Amino acid sequence: MKKIALITGASSGIGKELAIIHAKAGGDLVIVARNTEKLIQLKGEIEEKYQVTVHVISKDLSIKESVDQLFKEITDKGISINYLINNAGFGEYGEFQNTSWDREEKMIALNITTLTQLCKLFIPHMIRHGGGRILNVASTAAFQPGPLMAVYYATKAFVLHFSEAIGEELKDTGITVTALCPGATQSNFFNDAQMNDSKLVKGKKLPSSEDVANYGYRAMKKGKSVAIHGIGNFLLANSVRFSPRFLVLKMVKFIQRKSI
């Protein structure tokens, strides 16, 4: 029987690549994002190339009611989700006192509340069906505070810690939970966050969304708890634990400043 994956934020970047990878493996899909046109285009490409079934659901998951609506639409269709991939999320760049609260409120809703609620809704379903896989896309931002992206870094810290905690709770249920922690990646994320001129990004050769998605998908299938993409990112994420907090803060602020 084909495994069905629900992927949020599937219209571009890591989410799109995860959808393609799952289809290559012979799995059916439920793909969710705001951009209906991109989702329909992706559905056509995947179904034609891989002979799998792709269900398109267009939702803005930062809106509170949309998560319940998504769950109802899936269950009403009799679709049983085997892999829950919480990829949807975005960032905001700038000093906290100058950034947009409306945008940050939506970021908290999408990066934290939506992800948590989808886990809450689908975990009992997975338990009843004997197990499943959950992949929550966090970030290397999860391992330290992030001056100039304070709220974003905090949301990803939540994703990491939440994923590890429920993964431990679910040890004997047949469900595994993986927190994927990529570093800076080629995607629309930095355009959307308006930080292409930061030292973190400008002039850097970043890993592709495809590379990160492949790594994350393999980690999910293996049931790995925390998956940090790239040896450099792994070393940096772990070195933070042994560095003075004031120094970590200064370092993060420096690399996120705009390059002159």
Domain CATH for 114:
3.40.50.720
Which element (helix H / strand E) includes 127?
helix 115-128
pLDDT for the residue 242: 64
Which element (helix H / strand E) includes 5?
strand 4-8
Give the N- to C-terminal CA distance of the chain in Å, as an integer.
Answer: 55
Q: What is the DSSP-derived secondary structure letter of residue 109? A: I
177 backbone dihedrals φ, ψ, rounded to 5°? -125, 125
pLDDT for the residue 206: 82
pLDDT tens digits for range 209-234:
999 999 999 999 999 999 999 888 78
Report the alpha-carbon distance of residue 194 to residue 228 in Å, rounded. Answer: 24
Flag whether the pTM goes above 0.85: yes
Residue-number span of the structural domain to which 194 is assigned: 4-256
pLDDT for the residue 202: 47
Residue ranges in the chain modelled with pLDDT below 70? 187-204, 242-243, 248, 258-260
Residue partners of 29: CB distance under 8 A and separation at least 6 = 4, 5, 6, 7, 10, 19, 22, 23, 46, 52, 53, 54, 55
Number of domains in the chain: 1
Residue partners of 112: CB distance under 8 A and separation at least 6 = 155, 158, 159
Tokens of 216: 């994350």
pLDDT tens digits for range 169-194:
999 999 999 999 999 877 666 555 45
Residues with catalytic function? 152
